[in-house]
Structure 1
């Protein structure tokens, strides 16, 4: 079976590619920059140049492909808008997959996307779900809540560097999940017939508020935490001001999404049926405490090594942060 992975250089996409290769699948990755994707080739994936927003590049990438895993999304710094990438690009991909007679299309969406029509990214994700479901392709839609990996830059690194941690509005509890666990579920869906033409929530073991996560980081790091709160009204004012400039529309759309995680409503769902259908053990899912403990243990070990080398050689402490390259 040949799998085409779209978004394979991203935080989740690379884990999907790694797990698929480890499971023996033939993996092809749609990439725009072969240099940035070189690590995928080293793992054993085939790289094919293409761009969602250049639909003429998609048919070649889909030749001989059995299944598509779409984990791509527009980045805040992209020159293209969320609409161009996450809607027009996805429509082109789904149509191309249909023309190529792809057997299975797995789309990674966002939990509760149908409940926020006023948020551009959420509305587009929901519309893409509907378009895929009506395409006649066999599909599996996995609705995600949040990645544990993102918590390192959001909380871990600022706390270790004794910088303020920003909290916006009323913190929404989020059931974060390790991308490695998500990747396992994604690849499992390829071999379980019961996952076809269905939608599943994919979330972690517990929905954590920002304050709870900060408390865990404080305990594990042994450092005091400076919390800076941004009122939700100020966030809206910034978002509205950015809408005046075309070059910042993508950032404004992302700020609109920030309101989803700052309104106090939890992003969580039951995974009981998911584990039954996928045939996986819930006890094997990474807990947030375990993930953060592993990160801080590795950081503290690295800091001790740096202090030892400094004392031994008399070399000054490096200016670059030692915290940024210790994450999975």
Structure 2
């Protein structure tokens, strides 16, 4: 067992939603933390907080040489995210990038634990009612991001390193720069519509609950080699999820519903047209978005609760209130 005083934590994706929150928690715990960043200049705000910065690019292994010495723990949050684009573009960062990181760690240091952030999206695109970690990933007919997450998990499981895989659902919280801003824009414009029944459950995961799970997994030996689903445990319906965002942001709660068969048909047509036109941005409706907003996404977190002691304390309403307050404070609310 590593002496806590000798531990050296590395966080990848340090300027993103999850990575920045992991760093904040580490600093609050008085834990020395190092961040792998592509540009020291753009991450200077982390340096001002006492974070050691290492400049490197996961897709360029030569930039990692002789820079990771002494690292004992890694929280790997860096990823190319999205629901549109070529699979190889996602693989380059999410699979090859992880492979490059592992190779550099094995060459330079004595790694005690690597926490890899994956996704509940690796499961089949169907309604889920308590699906647990015994169900294997389903790689058929999914987007490049999700496929690359499955491949990254499979690659990691073949390595002789002490890893733990966490599969969160939709991660929300202060500093979100991807999905929640798009939801807010649609709500503000009045163009948001539910896909199928609004009463189906979300796989909501407050970022600070995910950070709780990360630090629990970092410090428990039985977590080595394990995979854990991570959500808020107390899930909310799509209607409650979206209407809470709307109300707290000061927008009208949406009522429009597009029947799921109609949404699937439109998504298929739009995806075909977008590919034909070579568009770089995702269409307004896609199979990936139907998976996110049209299905019942209830996954079991009992394994994390029993083995890690994972026990989220913040309610969805409290968590989203804090999130919207952050957006408002940083002038990121549309309108």
TM-score category of the 2 structures, normalised to the smaller one? 0.7 to 0.9
Distance 1:235 1:187, change over 3 A: same
Distance 1:30 1:255, change over 3 A: farther
2:106 is matched with 98
Q: Is 2:151 the counterpart of 1:127?
A: yes
Note the aligned Cα RMSD (angstroms).
3.3
Is the deviation greater in 95-104 or in 137-146? 95-104
Secondary structure in structure 2 of the residue aligned to 1:37: helix
Q: Decide whether the 8 Å contact of 2:264 with 2:287 is kept in 1.
A: no
Superimposed CA distance per residue, residues 56-94 of structure 1 (whole angstroms, 9 cap, x where no aligned partner): 112333211111111111144999811211122122222
Q: Cα distance, 1:244 vs. partner?
A: 4.2
1:59 is matched with 65
- Among 115, 119, 124, which residue is 1:110 paired with? 119
Distance 1:208 1:46, change over 3 A: same
Q: Cα distance, 1:263 vs. partner?
A: 4.4
1:212 is matched with 240
- Among 264, 278, 282, which residue is 1:232 paired with? 264
- Among 22, 26, 44, which residue is 2:28 paired with? 22
Q: Is 2:211 the counterpart of 1:183?
A: yes
Q: Decide whether the 8 Å contact of 2:59 with 2:96 is kept in 1.
A: yes
Distance 1:105 1:287, change over 3 A: same
Bigger relative contact order, structure 1 or 2 (CA pairs below 8 A, ≥6 apart):
2
1:311 is matched with none
Is the deviation greater in 142-151 or in 69-78? 69-78
Distance 1:259 1:61, change over 3 A: farther
Q: Cα distance, 1:228 vs. partner?
A: 5.6
Q: Is 2:52 the counterpart of 1:10?
A: no
Secondary structure in structure 1 of the residue aligned to 2:117: strand
Q: Between Structure 1 and Structure 2, how many residues are aligned?
A: 300
Q: Is 2:300 the counterpart of 1:270?
A: yes
Distance 1:24 1:290, change over 3 A: same
Q: Cα distance, 1:123 vs. partner?
A: 2.1
1:153 is matched with 181
Secondary structure in structure 2 of the residue aligned to 1:64: coil
Secondary structure in structure 2 of the residue aligned to 1:194: helix
Q: Decide whether the 8 Å contact of 2:194 with 2:294 is kept in 1.
A: no
Q: Decide whether the 8 Å contact of 2:209 with 2:232 is kept in 1.
A: no
Structure 1, unaligned stretches of length 5 or more? 303-320
Is the deviation greater in 174-183 or in 5-14? 174-183
Structure 2, unaligned stretches of length 5 or more? 1-6, 123-136
2:227 is matched with 199
1:241 is matched with 273
Superimposed CA distance per residue, residues 140-196 of structure 1 (whole angstroms, 9 cap, x where no aligned partner): 00011111235752445654x464324446666322121112112212222111111
Q: Hey, what's the Cα distance between the residues in 2 that align with 1:299 and 1:53?
A: 32
1:324 is matched with 333
Is the deviation greater in 89-98 or in 228-237? 228-237
Secondary structure in structure 2 of the residue aligned to 1:12: helix
Q: Hey, what's the Cα distance between the residues in 1 that align with 2:29 and 2:116?
A: 20
Distance 1:211 1:28, change over 3 A: same
Q: Hey, what's the Cα distance between the residues in 2 that align with 1:170 and 1:91?
A: 40
2:3 is matched with none
